[in-house]
A and B are shown apart, each in its own frame.
Chain A
Amino acid sequence: MTHPLVVVALALGTLGLRVSGLMLGDVRIPAAWERAWRYVPLALLSALIVISLTGRETSEVTIRAIALVVAAIITYKARRLWLCIAAGMIVYYLLRSAT
């Protein structure tokens, strides 16, 4: 169940982020801040991926972890978003049907 208010809050928050960058455009941001900022999405996405594996049966976690590693390697080589998702799902279903 989603609250429509959550969606509205996310929309306003994201709009706020877009506007703030455009308003700040001429202001110099310390290089250290800009650098730290770059790692934030990286760290959060890693955490979300790992957490998605928790609370499942061991066999399911193993299959998903293998599929994620294969998808990561393919994405690193090919840099295509759809390829990452397609390859990951195919490996996942192949392993699932094999076990």
Chain B
Amino acid sequence: MLPLWAGAIPAGVAYGVAARAVGIGALDAQFMSLTVFAAAGQITAVSLIGSDSALVATFITVMAVNAQIPLLGIAAVRQLHPTRFQKLQLSLLLTDGAFGIAAAREPLRHYVLVGAGLSMYLGWNLGTALGLTAGGAAGNPATSGLDFVVPLSFLAVLVPLIRDRSAVAAVLVASLTAITVLQIAPVGVAVLAAGVIGSATGVAVSRRSERSAA
């Protein structure tokens, strides 16, 4: 189980450092890792709380960033046909990282998935504690530049998702939309607008390239 720990700890450290960099209390940040347990979503929350976004916009954006979680659940149920008790375990521990590792070895097994999830949970929380300690010791984040961990964490999640032209189009259009909308609206609105328009662009481009390939 050591490799799984190794994967979750750096992500947890980045989150912990990022949380301290935007001034979130250590207890709040650790509490979030213990209860939310979703890397990209939590770093998004940290970023938006740091930019003083409206709470509703923060909530909606974090849920949208976590949008792949239901898809993982659907995939897990189709392959595993879990009992109700097994579903309960997965409802606490299912993450994309754990699913990716467990699904790498066919066929997918429930105990492997739960084991991977549990291992990730421990690594994520340990990493958070380490990051909070390190981030707290580093002094003023605005001058130390430690807040740069936030966009780098997003980038680390984003890059592996870019697999084709439609994804590149979605990234470009979302970025442009965000910058444009930000001129007239708060951060939360700009992010959500970029989410809607960027995803629509991704779908449109993937349909077009499918049609031209057919």
Contact = CB atoms under 8 A, between A and B. Distances in A.
Contacts of A84: 152, 155-156, 159
B160 interface: yes
B139 interface: no
A96 B63 contact: no
A interface, over-half SS: helix
Q: Interface residues of B toward A: which range?
A: 35 or more
Contacts, number: 267
B206 interface: yes
Given A6-B55, A11-B32, A72-B155, A43 B190 contact: no
Interface string B43-75: 011010101000100110111111111111110
Contact of A46 (B10, B44, B158): B158
A24 B150 CA distance: 33
Given A43-B171, A79-B160, 10 more contacts: A1-B25, A7-B31, A11-B32, A24-B70, A40-B67, A42-B202, A72-B159, A75-B159, A84-B155, A85-B156
Interface of A: 1-4, 6-11, 13-15, 17-27, 29, 32, 34-54, 64, 67-68, 71-72, 75-76, 79, 81-82, 84-85, 88-89, 92-93, 96
